Amino acid sequence: MAEVYLWVKSAHIVSFVAWMAAIFYLPRLYVYHADAKIGSELSETLKVMERKLLRVIMNPAMILTWGFGIWLVVLTGVGAPGGERWIHVKIGFVLLMTLFHAYLARIRRQFEQDKNTRSSKFYRGINEIPTILLIIIVLLAVVRPI
């Protein structure tokens, strides 16, 4: 059991790191895409990069993060009613990260259809959201303040 737990925990951490890397990078691509001329070679290249980042890295990494996280909860029983509150709060923030992920996917579809209406400054701003969520999620998992 202890060996399985360590493998699952490692897989959870690796998939979370991959998810975070992608969720940091996608809004950065949007910064450049917002300034690119519609129909330009740069705009079309960014569309391909955004689609591949979302579908090949970000979506699978999110699914694996959730899957391994649920497996950890089952293995440890940490999420049982009356158990430690930190895990419930952490799951809430991971849900917020998932909603942000879905929002980024929606934005990608707007860029794909050349219907973006936001500035590069807007995308620079929302690029801070996953950083804040990351800090909170890691602190909840490691420090367990509540």
127/24 Cα distance (integer angstroms): 7
The letter for the amino acid at 24 is F
Q: How confident is residue 83, by pLDDT bands cut at 50, 70 and 90?
A: confident
The 10s digit of each residue's pLDDT in 56-81 is: 999 999 999 999 999 999 999 887 77
With a cut of 90, say whether residue 109 has pLDDT above it: yes
Residue 58 pLDDT:
98
Say if residues 14 and 68 touch (Cβ distance below 8 Å). Answer: no
Residue 79 pLDDT:
76
Helices (H), 36-84: 41-52, 59-76
With a cut of 90, say whether residue 145 has pLDDT above it: no
What is the number of structural domains in the chain? 1
Domain around 20: 2-142
The 10s digit of each residue's pLDDT in 12-25 is: 999 999 999 999 99
pTM over 0.85: yes
pLDDT above 90: percentage of residues in the chain: 90
89/93 Cα distance (integer angstroms): 6
With a cut of 80, say whether residue 36 has pLDDT above it: yes
Closest CA relative to residue 91, chosen from 79, 75, 83: 79
Closest CA relative to residue 23, chosen from 58, 49, 52, 47: 58
